[in-house]
Structure formats: C-alpha cells, structure tokens
Amino acid sequence: MRTILSYVTTGMLFVLLACNSEKASKEKLPVLGQHQYVEKTVDNQTITDTVFHKVADFSFIDQDSTVVTNNTFENKIYVTDFFFTSCPTICPVMKKEMLRVYEAFKDNNQVLFLSHTIDPQYDTVALLHDYANRLGVSSDKWHFVTGDKEAIYDMGLKSYMVTAMEDESSPGGFIHSGAFILVDKERRIRGMYDGTVKEQVDVLINDIHRLLNEYDHGKASS
C-alpha cells in the first residue's frame, strides 16, 4: 500500500473561499487540509482512496459544566473559533459576526457552534456561562469550552490549522486567528472565513446552506 501526500497551505485557505460567484455556489465545497491518496489492491486491481484531514478527538468542558466531545457534534455541521473573554482586539467583532451566523441557523438542528477559550486560567466555567448568557445564546446550540491549555492550543494548530497561543507581546497576552472554521459531519474542514469581515461571514452563511444541501441531495440520491 502506498501513500501520497497533497497539501493545502494555511495561507491559501481564505483565498479558496473568496469567490462567491453563481458558478461557485452550485459546486461542492472543497475539503481543506492535507490529503492522503492511498493505493490498495482489490480483486487484483489497484484503486486509490482519498483520506482527508479530519478533526482529532477532543474533550472539553462547556459553560454548563457539560463534557463536550466529538460525539456532541455527531451527524452535525458546526462552526468553530478561538477567543478569550478579556480580548481587547478582534474578539468583540468576531462574536458580533458569529451571532449573525447563530441567528441564521438557531432553528436548524443540524448546525452547532463551538468556541474555545485560549485563556482557560481566567475563563472559568462560571465566566463562560455568564458570557454566553450575555450573548443570549442557547447552551445546547453554542458551546463555549475550556480545558487543558495545551490541548486547546494543539487542537487549533493540528486540527483546525489556525494559531492559538500565549504571546506576551500581543494585546491581552494571547494571539489567535480570527478565523471561523466550517466543519462537516465527517469532521472534515470545508471552509475558513475571516470572522472580522462581514462579507466573509456572509460567504460562510451561504456556504453552510450549500453544505446542508450537499447532505440533502446525498440522501435523495441514496
């Protein structure tokens, strides 16, 4: 069995979602991240399977002290990001924009939201609970999670391909991506969007509809 690697670099991810033309809206969303093409022999014939990058297993605690794992998002589409409640820079804009996405899909039980604090020492469960209440969101729809600091940073870098880390030289003492990341029901990354730019978030909202349609059409054709 032979494995061949193909890469999509992080710097290219926003570019892949930049085009919102009528033609693009009719196409399936790309699967982002590293691909592996695995050759195997079946009935004396060589076939190639594509193995896509997937979000790793995780376990965190949300604002209701509930354990949140991959199973929480089983058979769901979800949008995820990284933030901290005392963030003095981009987080307030990101949360305002994520609220728009939440409002667009709050009644759709196939879509969930996941926000990771990158300052778990300060952002306690109680503080995250208060933060979610002030946003006016449902805890079974939008999970604000905390946990082991290194596990959170590792998820950002290795699973979601974004920056999330301590940085004493940055405002607030942390640095993190402003990306909103769209994850499908197979734990594959289907889009990345700048959560500080309204037009990019508009693309995200449209792409969630596109992804939902993919699953609807898949059921119809199966």
Condensed to tens digits (0 to 9), the pLDDT of residues 153-172 reads: 999 999 999 987 666 666 66
Q: Where are the domains of the chain?
A: 2-52, 59-221
Q: What is the pTM of this model?
A: 0.83
Residues 184, 104 contacting (CB under 8 angstroms): no
Q: Within the chain, which residues score under 50 in pLDDT?
A: 1-23, 220-222
- Which of 145, 140, 144 lies closest to 109 in space, CA to CA? 140
Query: Which tokens is 97 given?
Result: 């924009």
Query: CATH top-level class for 59-221?
Result: alpha beta
Condensed to tens digits (0 to 9), the pLDDT of residues 101-121 reads: 999 999 999 999 999 999 999
Where does residue 145 rank: exposed (0-12), middle (13-18), buried (19+ CB within 10 A)? buried
**What pLDDT does 165 receive?**
64
